[in-house]
Structure 1
Amino acid sequence: MENGFQRLAIPLRRIDGSAAGWWVIEPSTSQVSLDPDKCETTGNSLPPTWKGLKEAEDNNSAVAPIEISTRAGITCIRLLETHGYEWSVEEAPNDMALQLSSSLKGTRFWKEKRGQSGSFKVVNHLGLADFKLEGTDIQALDLQFEFVSRKFDFDSEYRRLTEDIADFCQQLLLSWDAPTRLRFNVDPNEAHKLLLEQFLFLKSFMTQDRLSRLLEAIGRNPHSTLIKESEWVPAAAARSNDYMWDPCRMLRDWRQNNGKRVPGEVMDIRKSDTHDTAPNRFIKFALAQFRQICSDVCAQRWTENNKTSTLGMEAKEMLDQIDGLLSRRFFNEVGRMQRLPLDNQTLQKREGYREVLQAWLLTQAATSLNWEGERDCYEGATRDVATLYEYWIFIQLHQILSSIPGLAPDGEDFGPGRFISESDGQLTINLKQGCYSRSSYIWIGTGTTLKVDLQYERSFSSSSSATQSGSYSRTFRPDYTISIFPASFESEKQAEAAGKVAHLHLDAKYRAEDISAVFGRKEISEEEISDEKLESKSERSYRRGDLLKMHTYNDALRHTIGSYVLYPGTKTEAAEKMPKFHEIAPGVGAMVMKPENLDCLDAIRQFFLEVFNHQADLFSQYRYLSDTNHQTYSDAPECVEQFGSKYNIARKNAPCVVLWLRKDQEPIFKKHGFAYCRAISEEHKRTLNLNLSIEVGSEFIPCGGGQGATKLGYCWRAKVKTARFISKEQLKTYIKERGLSDQLEPRSVDHYLLFEFAEATDFKEIDLTDIYRSKQSGSKYMAVTCQWIDILKSIEKTELNLAADS
């Protein structure tokens, strides 16, 4: 890299011009030396008297740690953000007193040693910073640092990041459903506020070569018109023969010549093409307007707090470019515009002309678009690139969702926090850090119609309700949340009550460069894990911290189906998705989102489509688990205390199976985890009224007692694993396979109901007589179905009877 250096040395001069040492800068490494003697002058790549140490040839980095660039006539030292640098004054007299001033002072990573040496690092910001050394007897050394991204190529990908945002704003203003009128404001104070919006629109249009290319297209096929100039000239000097069409009007001064009448003068018509036309006058007018915008930005934003502004420098560069374009000979013959020719077909349709017209309209329409969030990214000497990356991702997610087949904006949604709102002819983009914003859609695909909400900065606060969206611990605020629920519900709150909401969380991680920086390596030793934990305690960093945060979202935030990191990555890096089981959700993972990487956007679009199809499927494993959990969480558990013992009742409406067992056989059944009852009663010709589909997972409560006598529980309960309809012969075989006594074999009816259970636990004696009387459908040998609330009533009645007896 011609302008790339590992070390840079800049001379210090006394007032009389004599040498006073060197100011040296070098990236922070274990081998940093800051020795100016190894630096050398390198042709035209450095200013005169500066020296540099070239990068090693085996350095494969795409961006050099130190580069030299010239912007708006100012020489800038281009450095990398998130990269540490050390500097020092070398070979200077010991008594030389220096004073240092810099816009980097006061930042977290700034360190200084008595004005002679120090170190610094810039995190998550791009743009300019000043650095000045001065003293009583030396010439001031005034430097400009320009920080560029390590994650993005500054000259292409970072500019694409800003252009994508501006393109979205342009499409918004030019869309069919945008306001039909524009607000033009002549208030100078308001115009001052609108300069940023106008310049950003202009900057997105006027890339380094785009306007030049458009003017070349105009130059190849310029609009022109034929003009005619007429004057009376002697007949012999006439160049045209147009007079032959109208000799009476175009000939005069007739005279006799050899007996013939001949004209003395002819009206000579001269025809020529001219570029002084309405479309060309508009192009010149628009360029002049663009120049005025840049000039105003330079006047107001060239400095911020007496320091060169990134915005001001960009405006100066654009101003110089426009001056170069207006100096072309093409515009010398183009006059001043007298009327705005917006109805001109050439201006509307011809290549070059229509693009300049569009750019001019957008700069004028800046009053119709309000976005306070852009000031978080663009104003000041540096750019908050992490925030800009967050905004870019939200806009990209919005556009990705809008492009998915079957997913359309919800036109009936007018609730608070809308991403784009319109009032009095003004569009407002409600996208700002710390402020909630959302964009709503309706998805009609295979299966259930879904409501989809893309949300920015949604807070999930602590909630004691186990069924509401929120956190069971502390408040969390993911960068982006996609909430999905059936469109049959009028609101997300109603869907929450039914347990039909799913949240997909996404976090932007601009600082991550590759997947190992996000989640760590897949294979990691126990020793490395210990080292990471020590690193997190001492340096407040953790290589797998983002992975742990995604797991935190999944665990702490109710109704979460997945949590994913979005990071710049590389153009070839693939997404990593880690599902909890066989289905796409629940899970965690990381996906690349990088400007100019269309493949990553397609991958995210496909991922969203899979998620929507998965959510619309009523028969997925996730849906079964979600519905089961919701049913479990819906009832708050109740603690029952009886005879000094406590029992937790998970759900009051949980199903229970009460089964009569012979007293001598009950211990055997308990030990081997099964029991059976008749499925049909021969005596009363009645069949068992039992819903087998709900009994798996139910409570199994055995009891005893004679015919017509009190039915008392056997002081234990268990969980039902299976409930099967089985023949007498099959049941006999089942018992023999377990080596049990013939006394357990069935001897009456032909069909039985076999229960298998587990996790038998002690339970105090309960009077179950009332349950048997109210629920029984056959003989006492047939099972009875009830709910836990019935068991609770029996417990209460038992306690009252005991209290009365005592």
Structure 2
Amino acid sequence: MKSVPHIAINLDSIKEGLLLTIYSKRSETLFDADGNTEGSNEARYQLVEGCSYDYTFNEPTFMFGNVGEQIVQPHTGYKYIGTLSPNIFVGTLSLPIVEVGKEDKQTAIELEVQSVKSSYRDDYRDMLEFITEKCTDLLLKANSPVFHYFEIDYSKDNQTLYQKFAFIKSVIGTDEFAEAIHRIITAPVTKWTKISESRDIRQARRFSNANVKEFLKGGNRTKLPDTHYLHNYGLRSLPERITSIRKTDSVDTVENRFVKHALEIFLKFSSDINSVAVTGSKLDRESQTLIRELESQLHHSLFKQISRPTTLKLNSPVLQRKEGYREVLRVWLMFDLAAKLIWEGGEDVYGAGKKDIATLYEYWLFFKLLDLFQDIFDIAPKDIAELIKETPDGLNLQIKQGKFTVIEGVFNSWSRKLNVRFNYNRSFSGYKNYPDNGSWTTTLRPDYTLSFWPFGISEVEAEKQELIVHIHFDAKYKVANLTDFIEQSSDNELDNKKLENRKGIYKNADLLKMHAYKDAIRRTGGAYVLYPGVKEINRKGFHEIIPGLGAFPVRPSKTDSGIRELKTFILEIMEHFINRASQREKSAYRTFDIYKNPPDIENEVREPLPEVYHENRNLIPDNTFVLVGFYNSKEQYDWIKKNALYNFRMGTGNGSLVLDKKTVSTKYLLLHTSGDINSGDIWKITSKGPRIYSKMDMAKKKYPKPIEDMQDFYLTIKIEPVTDPEFYNVQWDFKKLHDYSTGRASAFPFTTNLTELMKNKVK
């Protein structure tokens, strides 16, 4: 295929002397494939997706018709010149040519648009073949509900016929199938066959019982000489020729008959399709190519020696095991079902001459992921069977870009059971208020979403309790900005990106979309690109495998697709879910605990507080507790100050302290005594928890109370003066606190939090 700076297309078939010239704007983007497109059904002149080209007709009365998607952009004043921009279109581009004043008469020319990826032709064929295999596997499952008999209706429209033909071509028009036939032809299975022939009796070496009978009864006999020893046995003559049995190799075996039968069936289908295809259409050209290939195979001399089959011995070890034969058997088993399949989503891939490799990659990934998840999770067969449904036109594959598809299952480990939901094209509705599921900004729709939540509760309830996690994947066949995941941008690069963004150019759109999924869709644990590359990128948001962003290579390859690396990643995520003490579990609970109720205006704290860093990093007013304690006398207060201890009663009597979670975790102590209206006597608690002192211990500390009046045991905490300037010269009206009691109970200790205390600050 030759690269050219411009091409001149002769359009004498439309009008004598009419010429269309197309100019490339970049080198190596315009090609003339003269003589190199035979068998590929591609147009001679080829463009490259994403590039732009100038065009001009040599007569101003001719112009291109509109094909949509801004592919044709004529000049505003001169319609016979303009720009061709294929954008993301890949495949055969049909452009109508219109003459001014004769708009009802249009003639089209075809240009081929190549993908920027050089392997797209092989990828396209391999992915379509894989999808066909998966669909027929679904139909062959014994528990599938779609066992119905359908006749192929060749009177259907060309669109439906092409959907059927595309499935068939993907399995019998492949290099693998041609290689299988070649192996059979070069090394066919043979068998020993007995051949009867008439031979001169003098050349016979062995005689059978039948030959002995011929000695006596055979015709055309010759008289024996009188001296011949056979006279002694009563024979006076012998036949000149007798029947001889000879063994020879024969290719007319049941296995070879089956192969010939299969090829004839494939040829008949292709011929029937071709007979109803519109002349010159894509279906017409591709079916003719397939017919030529099948006829070429059947015309081999081997098949002339093979008779028609009387039975099909499908359980033959040769058909099931020998190279070449087993491939033909597999294709034949797929053929009948594939011929009945239609796929509306296929129009996104190959409709109107397209070869939308990016969309096909998205569909192909769906089945690769489905295979992967079936291997890891317990997925209900009913959900899988519903991927194909009966329609009047045949069995319709229910996979279509933009159409929501869901498959549910269970992950059952030895210690935890989780619900699993695999979503294709799930839309997360926007502008949802917490705790509803969805996106809190605009509506977003990842290609694939894998959701997990504990077994035993509904998905809705799991969303409300922050127990569900979504992992999103996007298919990017032509990802061009993977370096944004890998390389750290320099200051100059960031400046250039900002400049491009002002112009409306966003080269890191894929990366931004992953961040959008992660940040906007509630309870998202990770967002990842799946692309046909080689490098894996997995960025962790914190220390654990999720939350994260990244990319995984999954290639359309029959030997090394890269799906194993993705499987390893999914298994690591499942191991993470089994860990009930993970940081993500803690974070999810904290989120639920904090946001389960809307903020209460009564809980607002706008008073000065110590800044939350260093030792005060955990100073959250609602969760910072203050113990309000009472002292009886100046002597007791002096003892508290001298020993940096504060004591409480133990036991079940009045005034004893209940050691609940709040009390044990108190951070401050506010002291007051009889007659106090307010108090500013706040201390910092330094002990990790209360300690038990006996009355002997208290006596040694010279507690200001006779030992005989002391209790047997006391709870004590260590304290020190506060050093935070925000608490200097501050008074609190402790009597307004919720748990404060009047009368004799005013001396009972109780616990409050810093929020309530600061709201009762005396101003």
Length-normalised TM-score, structure 2: 0.76
**Which residue is 1:219 aligned to?**
185
Q: Is the contact between residue 243 and residue 266 of structure 1 (CA under 8 Å) also seen in structure 2?
A: no
1:505 aligns with 2:505: no
**Mapping for residues 43-122 of structure 1, pairs under 5 Å:** 65-66=30-31, 68=33, 69-72=36-39, 76-88=44-56, 96-97=59-60, 99-101=62-64, 105-113=67-75, 114=78, 116-122=80-86
**Which residue is 1:587 aligned to?**
548
Distance apart, 1:724 and its partner CA: 2.8
Q: Which residue among 322, 336, 342 is the counterpart of 2:308? A: 336
**Mapping for residues 631-642 of structure 1, pairs under 5 Å:** 631-640=593-602
Distance apart, 1:195 and its partner CA: 4.3
The one-letter amino acid paired with 2:361 is: Y
Q: Is the contact between residue 223 and residue 277 of structure 1 (CA under 8 Å) also seen in structure 2?
A: yes
**Which residue is 2:297 aligned to?**
325
Q: Which residue among 248, 257, 260 is the counterpart of 1:281? A: 257
Length-normalised TM-score, structure 1: 0.72
**Which residue is 1:560 aligned to?**
524
Question: How far apart in 2 are the matches of 1:753 and 1:317?
Answer: 92
Question: How far apart in 1 are the matches of 2:682 and 2:83?
Answer: 71
1:383 aligns with 2:355: yes
1:659 aligns with 2:623: no
1:477 aligns with 2:439: no
Distance apart, 1:752 and its partner CA: 0.9
1:27 aligns with 2:3: no
**Which residue is 1:358 aligned to?**
330
**Structure 1, unaligned runs of 5 or more:** 33-54, 56-63, 646-650, 666-674, 730-744, 796-806
The one-letter amino acid paired with 2:68 is: G
The percentage of counterpart residues that share the same residue type is 23
Q: Is the contact between residue 722 and residue 757 of structure 1 (CA under 8 Å) also seen in structure 2?
A: no
Q: Is the contact between residue 183 and residue 367 of structure 1 (CA under 8 Å) also seen in structure 2?
A: no
SS for the counterpart of 1:771 is coil
The one-letter amino acid paired with 1:99 is: F
Q: Is the contact between residue 146 and residue 388 of structure 2 (CA under 8 Å) also seen in structure 1?
A: no
1:409 aligns with 2:395: no
**Which residue is 2:463 aligned to?**
496
Question: How far apart in 2 are the matches of 1:418 and 1:339?
Answer: 32
Summarize deviations over 1:84-112 as a string: whole Å, max 9, x none.
223345xx6xxx4452446x733324222
**Which residue is 1:804 aligned to?**
none
Question: How far apart in 2 are the matches of 1:757 and 1:554?
Answer: 42
1:374 aligns with 2:342: no
The one-letter amino acid paired with 1:284 is: K
Summarize deviations over 1:129-181 as a string: whole Å, max 9, x none.
13576989xxx997532222213512333333323323333443455655695
Question: How far apart in 1 are the matches of 2:717 and 2:372?
Answer: 58
Q: Is the contact between residue 519 and residue 543 of structure 1 (CA under 8 Å) also seen in structure 2?
A: no
Summarize deviations over 1:318-376 as a string: whole Å, max 9, x none.
22211211221112233334444445554444332232122122111236756442333
**Which residue is 2:697 aligned to?**
none
Distance apart, 1:402 and its partner CA: 3.3
Distance apart, 1:542 and its partner CA: 0.9
Question: How far apart in 2 are the matches of 1:713 and 1:552?
Answer: 52
Distance apart, 1:75 and its partner CA: 5.1
**Which residue is 1:261 aligned to?**
236
**Which residue is 1:9 aligned to?**
7
**Which residue is 1:515 aligned to?**
482
Q: Is the contact between residue 504 and residue 563 of structure 1 (CA under 8 Å) also seen in structure 2?
A: yes
Question: How far apart in 1 are the matches of 2:96 and 2:157?
Answer: 35
**Which residue is 2:126 aligned to?**
160
SS for the counterpart of 2:373 is helix
Question: How far apart in 2 are the matches of 1:391 and 1:664?
Answer: 82
Question: How far apart in 2 are the matches of 1:181 and 1:16?
Answer: 51
Q: Is the contact between residue 476 and residue 529 of structure 2 (CA under 8 Å) also seen in structure 1?
A: yes
Q: Which residue among 548, 553, 556 is the counterpart of 2:512? A: 548
SS for the counterpart of 1:317 is helix
* Alpha-carbon spacing, 1:431–1:681, altered in 2? closer, same or farther (3 Å): same
Distance apart, 1:482 and its partner CA: 1.1
Q: Which residue among 480, 486, 497 is the counterpart of 1:532? A: 497
The one-letter amino acid paired with 1:458 is: R
Q: Which residue among 131, 147, 151 is the counterpart of 1:185? A: 151
Summarize deviations over 1:290-311 as a string: whole Å, max 9, x none.
12333344445566xxx742x5
The one-letter amino acid paired with 1:469 is: N
Question: How far apart in 2 are the matches of 1:725 and 1:534?
Answer: 58
Distance apart, 1:483 and its partner CA: 0.6
Q: Is the contact between residue 8 and residue 20 of structure 2 (CA under 8 Å) also seen in structure 1?
A: yes
* Alpha-carbon spacing, 1:210–1:556, altered in 2? closer, same or farther (3 Å): closer
* Alpha-carbon spacing, 1:331–1:418, altered in 2? closer, same or farther (3 Å): closer
**Which residue is 1:724 aligned to?**
688
Q: Is the contact between residue 660 and residue 704 of structure 1 (CA under 8 Å) also seen in structure 2?
A: yes
The one-letter amino acid paired with 1:252 is: G
The one-letter amino acid paired with 1:562 is: G
Distance apart, 1:587 and its partner CA: 2.3
Distance apart, 1:627 and its partner CA: 0.7
* Alpha-carbon spacing, 1:200–1:628, altered in 2? closer, same or farther (3 Å): same
SS for the counterpart of 2:90 is strand
Question: How far apart in 2 are the matches of 1:531 and 1:392?
Answer: 36
* Alpha-carbon spacing, 1:695–1:286, altered in 2? closer, same or farther (3 Å): farther
Summarize deviations over 1:541-586 as a string: whole Å, max 9, x none.
3123333332222222211111222334x43xx2333322222221
Question: How far apart in 2 are the matches of 1:699 and 1:374?
Answer: 66
* Alpha-carbon spacing, 1:682–1:627, altered in 2? closer, same or farther (3 Å): closer
Q: Is the contact between residue 132 and residue 170 of structure 2 (CA under 8 Å) also seen in structure 1?
A: yes
When structure 1 is superposed on structure 2, of 80-89 and 553-562 the one drifting more is 80-89
1:397 aligns with 2:364: no
The one-letter amino acid paired with 2:379 is: D
Aligned-pair Cα RMSD in Å: 4.9
Question: How far apart in 2 are the matches of 1:228 and 1:508?
Answer: 61
Aligned residues: 694
1:461 aligns with 2:429: yes
**Structure 2, unaligned runs of 5 or more:** 101-105, 608-619, 635-643, 694-701, 706-713
The one-letter amino acid paired with 2:657 is: L
Summarize deviations over 1:487-534 as a string: whole Å, max 9, x none.
3x2432333343211111222233422413x66952142x65455345
Question: How far apart in 1 are the matches of 2:591 and 2:330?
Answer: 55
The one-letter amino acid paired with 1:395 is: F
* Alpha-carbon spacing, 1:148–1:722, altered in 2? closer, same or farther (3 Å): farther
The one-letter amino acid paired with 1:375 is: E
